[in-house]
């Protein structure tokens, strides 16, 4: 680089730019958090849904599935599974409940998690709540996720 | 090696390479599960294999960063490490905690592991890459703080160079942003939003500071180019990394229930994210071309150039491919993301750690550079691993394009599993490339044991 551009100038751009854009990120974060009530479906965060989120976590569902497009890409997107399953929590519960213990020969299969009926309901309610989150452009693009 | 305490790095590097092997073994396992769904089912289901694959990557890169810092900082600061004992103790704590966590993943169902480690007291488990039990996370914080303290004290009491101060800034950032992993709100949108404060601000933020400073250090050593020139480059590269990458976090906020304006902020700023990586490539080639000496360690020079190029391709180009909101609308959460993730992590972070290992390991073993045969094998392993990773990336990109079309874009979208079946050829070829990568890794390890004439003899 040319001599007119000194190390001191480079350093100032680093500190100035870094600090400035960190503050921008914080500002945008505050604004985003303030706007969340309009989209994040918090009115449906019931005790059941909260318990369902914990079940989602402790069974590592994200290790195969994606949720709002984040996670693994080994198994279907689940942010819209409630819609895909005909808006039926019963269908979601039945799917999880009847997974074969030893899997399906040659195919990907979801493990049998041995959840109680109460837990199945909580997990289904969590997925219903996620389906109610208003995403930009109504992502995912279609019902297949 | 000028200071005795630099030798501690060797311990860290050996552990890093051992865990790297584990990571790749689980990688090829998962690759096979993509096409043979019942492989190792139900003993090691895909989610477990993936957790082991990604967590081992994170842990071994952290070992690599720590080892690199322990090697680099005393030399830059011109004094012994503040506390070599602390560095050794933390090594064993981290290794044992990491090994127990991985064994926990493999030996008991994840829900049982959550119970055993009392996740309910402070629930942090079950989020991608942050699957570690809360107790392990606390352990990581303790190790990170002790490490930053040790490195920080060494620098404070010694010579402060741009390289060691930037490295320290990156390492402090790494420790600080990890604290967001303890925040797990019930509200999924908030949870996801702040989850990225660990994941994005690590890999597209503070880790870039670490990478750039390690690269700058090795380039000074192997080229003999004036420190002033290199430090100017370093500042401007990391300046661009932060200017683009901080607000660039927004490219993760397009479709998770956050404000629409992120589509603009995220697209524009993340579109700038390739710039620091492109500058790193310019920097590396520029400096090597202006070299004042031909360092006998050819392998280290190759790794340094390689990491700059592959980071630009993987993080820069493959990141840009799907970072604009109108594109990402279709590609979000498909194999395109997997393609980008593989080459970016390999190019930027795996390769920079291997650059440091390549440069420092011979010095810690009392040589100027590895012997002629060892370097020949190392260079061959560089090409095998790098080209295999290029193949993996291209194949996953092909799979991703097909997936986007069949599942998201066509007039008659097909269900996820139907589409996955149609991608089987890509996945089989990817598995072959994965096995080739593994063979390259074995050759890399063999290179440390290869006998041959010393480099000085042939110069």
How high is the ipTM of this complex? 0.97
Strands (E), A1-145: 66-67, 70-71
Q: Does A54 touch chain B (CB under 8 A)?
A: yes
Alpha carbon of A120 to those of A96, A99, A101, A115, B312: distances in Å? Answer: 8, 13, 17, 6, 45
Calpha distance B188→A41 (Å, rounded) = 9
Contact B441, B24 (CB under 8 A): yes
Residues 291-350 of B with CB under 8 A from A: 329-330, 332-335, 337-338
Calpha distance B232→B167 (Å, rounded) = 15
Residue A2 has a pLDDT of 56
Residue B457 has a pLDDT of 47
Residues 366-395 of B with CB under 8 A from A: none
Calpha distance B342→B338 (Å, rounded) = 6
Instruction: Name the architecture of domain A42-138.
Output: Orthogonal Bundle (1.10)
Chain B hits for A75, Cβ within 8 Å: 46, 416
Closest residue in A to B287 (Cα–Cα): A1
Calpha distance A60→B126 (Å, rounded) = 5
Q: Does A31 touch chain B (CB under 8 A)?
A: yes
Residue A1 has a pLDDT of 52
Contact A39, B257 (CB under 8 A): yes
The answer to whether A36 contacts B228, with C-beta atoms less than 8 Å apart, is no
- CA angle, residues B235, B237, B240, in degrees to nearest 5: 105
b (16+ CB within 10 A) / e for B412-441: ebbebeebbeebeebbbbbbebbbbbbebb
Report the 3 state secondary structure along B198-228: HHHHHHHHHHHHHHHHHHHHHHHHHHCCCHH
Residue A4 has a pLDDT of 85
b (16+ CB within 10 A) / e for B162-180: bbbebbbbbbbbbbebbeb
Q: Does B259 touch chain A (CB under 8 A)?
A: yes
Strands (E), A4-137: 66-67, 70-71
Closest residue in A to B31 (Cα–Cα): A74
The answer to whether B50 contacts A64, with C-beta atoms less than 8 Å apart, is yes
Q: Please list the rounded mean pLDDT of every run of 10 residues in chain B (459 residues).
A: 96 98 98 98 97 98 98 98 98 97 98 98 98 98 98 98 98 98 98 98 97 98 96 98 98 98 98 98 97 96 98 98 98 98 98 98 96 98 98 98 98 98 98 98 98 75
Number of alpha helices (DSSP H) and beta strands (DSSP E) in chain B: 20, 0
Q: What is the pTM of this model?
A: 0.97
Q: Please list the rounded mean pLDDT of every run of 10 residues in chain A (145 residues).
A: 83 98 98 98 98 98 98 98 98 98 96 98 98 98 97
Q: What is the largest CA-CA distance in chain B?
A: 68
The answer to whether B188 contacts A5, with C-beta atoms less than 8 Å apart, is no
Query: Topology of domain B216-450, per CATH?
Result: Cytochrome C Oxidase; Chain A (1.20.210)
Sketch the domain layout of chain B as residue ranges.
1-160, 216-450
Q: Does A116 touch chain B (CB under 8 A)?
A: no
DSSP string of B246-292?
A: HHHGGGGSSSSS--TTHHHHHHHHHHTTHHHHHHHHHHHHHHHHT-S
Calpha distance B158→A134 (Å, rounded) = 54
The three-state secondary structure class of B50 is: helix
Instruction: Enter the tokens of residue A16.
Output: 């100035």
Residue with tokens 């043979």: B36
């Amino acid at each position: 680089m040319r001599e007119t551009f000194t190390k001191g100038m480079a350093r100032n751009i680093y500190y100035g730019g870094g600090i400035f854009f960190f503050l921008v990120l914080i500002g945008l974060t505050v604004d985003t958090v303030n706007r969340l009530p309009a989209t994040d479906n918090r009115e449906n965060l019931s005790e059941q849904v909260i318990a369902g989120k914990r079940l989602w976590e402790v069974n590592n569902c994200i290790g195969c599935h994606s949720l709002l497009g984040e996670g693994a890409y080994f198994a279907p997107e689940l942010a819209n599974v409630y819609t895909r399953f005909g808006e039926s929590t019963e269908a979601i519960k039945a799917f999880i409940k009847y997974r074969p213990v030893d899997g399906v020969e040659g195919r990907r299969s979801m493990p049998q998690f041995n959840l109680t009926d109460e837990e199945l309901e909580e997990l289904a309610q969590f997925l219903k709540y996620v389906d109610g989150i208003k995403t930009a452009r109504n992502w995912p693009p279609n019902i297949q996720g | 090696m000028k200071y005795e305490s630099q030798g501690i790095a060797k311990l860290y590097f050996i552990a890093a390479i051992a865990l790297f092997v584990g990571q790749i073994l689980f990688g090829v396992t998962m690759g096979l599960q993509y096409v043979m769904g019942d492989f190792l089912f139900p003993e090691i289901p895909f989610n477990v294999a993936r957790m082991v694959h990604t967590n081992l990557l994170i842990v071994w890169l952290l070992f690599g960063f720590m080892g690199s810092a322990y090697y680099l900082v005393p030399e830059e600061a011109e004094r012994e490490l503040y506390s070599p004992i602390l560095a050794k103790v933390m090594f064993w704590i981290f290794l044992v905690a990491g090994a127990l966590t991985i064994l926990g993943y493999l030996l008991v169902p994840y829900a049982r592991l959550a119970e055993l480690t009392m996740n309910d007291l402070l629930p942090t488990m079950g989020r991608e890459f942050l699957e570690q039990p809360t107790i392990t996370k606390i352990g990581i914080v303790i190790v990170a703080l002790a490490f930053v303290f040790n490195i920080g004290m060494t620098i404070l009491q010694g010579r402060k160079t741009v390289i060691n101060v930037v490295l320290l800034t990156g390492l402090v950032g790494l420790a600080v942003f990890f604290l967001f992993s303890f925040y797990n709100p019930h509200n999924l949108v908030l949870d996801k939003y702040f989850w990225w404060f660990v994941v994005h601000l690590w890999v597209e933020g503070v880790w870039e500071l670490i990478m750039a400073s390690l690269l700058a250090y090795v380039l000074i050593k192997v080229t003999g180019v004036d420190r002033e020139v290199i430090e100017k480059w370093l500042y401007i590269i990391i300046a661009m990394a932060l200017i683009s990458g901080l607000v660039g976090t927004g490219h993760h906020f397009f479709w998770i229930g956050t404000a629409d304006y992120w589509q603009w902020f995220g697209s524009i700023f993340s579109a700038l994210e390739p710039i620091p990586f492109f500058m790193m490539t310019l920097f590396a080639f520029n400096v090597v071309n202006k070299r004042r000496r031909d360092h006998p360690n050819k392998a280290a020079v190759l790794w340094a150039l390689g990491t700059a190029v592959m980071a630009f391709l993987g993080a820069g180009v493959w990141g840009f491919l799907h970072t604009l909101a109108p594109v990402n609308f279709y590609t979000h959460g498909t194999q395109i993301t997997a393609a980008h993730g593989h080459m970016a992590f390999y190019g930027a972070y795996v390769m920079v750690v291997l650059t440091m290992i390549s440069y420092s390991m011979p010095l810690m073993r009392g040589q100027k550079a590895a012997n002629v045969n060892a370097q020949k094998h190392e260079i061959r392993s560089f090409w095998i691993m790098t080209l295999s990773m290029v193949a993996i990336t291209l194949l996953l990109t092909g799979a991703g394009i097909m997936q986007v079309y069949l599942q998201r874009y066509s007039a008659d979208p097909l269900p996820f599993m139907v589409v996955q079946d149609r991608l089987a050829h890509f996945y089989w070829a990817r598995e072959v490339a994965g096995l080739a990568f593994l063979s390259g890794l074995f050759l890399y390890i063999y290179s440390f044991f290869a006998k041959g004439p010393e480099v000085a003899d042939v110069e």
